[in-house]
Amino acid sequence: MEMVKAAGLRKYYTNGANEVRALDGVSLTVEEGEFLAIVGSSGSGKSTLLNMLGGLDEPTAGGVWIRGNSLRDMDREERTIFRRRNIGFVFQQYNLVPVLDVYENIVLPLRLDGMPVDEAYIDHIAEVLKLKEKLYEMPEMLSGGQQQRAAIARALSVKPAIILADEPTGNLDSRTSMKVIGLFQTCARQFHQTLIIVTHEEEAAQMADRIVRIEDGKIWGQEEQL
């Protein structure tokens, strides 16, 4: 079943007299339960593509459909609610709320939507991500890697249909990185989630079902993994 569809995505910016084509006609589909890695050099357009797929930014042209729902046909409030209920995000900058402790940051999406907290599941996530001893500390007391793990836990907390992760292992050591990717895979299988990550780490990308390589705002190649 098709979970995500992008058709003719373009994102153009004007920088003085220059036009920057961050995305230049990108089309792809992602099946339900698929683990897709988007790989490319810095400035290739991979993070822009991820933001478009998650409805965080609007394209200059083209469209994105999630479970057949057109993001362009939703107003801002509708997109916000749709994202919160269907998509878990892991951002490069973490975006933790500084006045909330780690636990409250993790369960924040559930609180915002009035959903019950699965404490056993949250405990499992915290254990795998080595956060159990940090749950009641404030974000400013955490290292960069710990903040990143907290952001990953928050994305997983709502058991979303889709997880979008922008360099989710960028500040982690190689051993923890593989554990994190393994957790993503386990959750994706258990809860029938679709996983899309942007990464520059070839080892992490090789764990995906499919790799899409993007450069200069265009898809240059795709590789199915055995």
Does residue 1 carry a pLDDT above 70?
A: yes
In a domain? residue 42: yes
How many whole angstroms separate alpha carbon 23 and alpha carbon 216?
A: 7
Query: Which domain does 172 fall in, by range?
Result: 34-55+86-224
Give 113-122's long-range contacts (Cβ < 8 A, gap of 24+). 113/84, 113/85, 113/158, 115/158, 117/157, 118/159, 121/157, 121/159, 122/153, 122/157
Instruction: Report the candidate in 43, 56, 21 with the shortest Cα–Cα distance to residue 200.
Output: 43
Per-residue model confidence as pLDDT tens digits over 169-213: 777 777 878 887 887 787 777 777 899 999 888 888 888 999 999
Q: What CATH number is given to the structural domain containing 146? A: 3.40.50.300
Q: How many domains does the chain have?
A: 1
Question: Global pTM?
Answer: 0.86
In a domain? residue 49: yes
Alpha carbon distance, N-terminus to C-terminus of the chain: 20
Q: Which residues contact 75 (CB under 8 A, 6 or more apart)?
A: none
Q: What pLDDT is recorded for position 226?
A: 60
| Range with top average pLDDT, 87-96, 110-119, 178-187 | 110-119
Does residue 65 carry a pLDDT above 90?
A: yes
In a domain? residue 139: yes
How many whole angstroms separate alpha carbon 40 and alpha carbon 127?
A: 32
In a domain? residue 188: yes
In a domain? residue 17: no
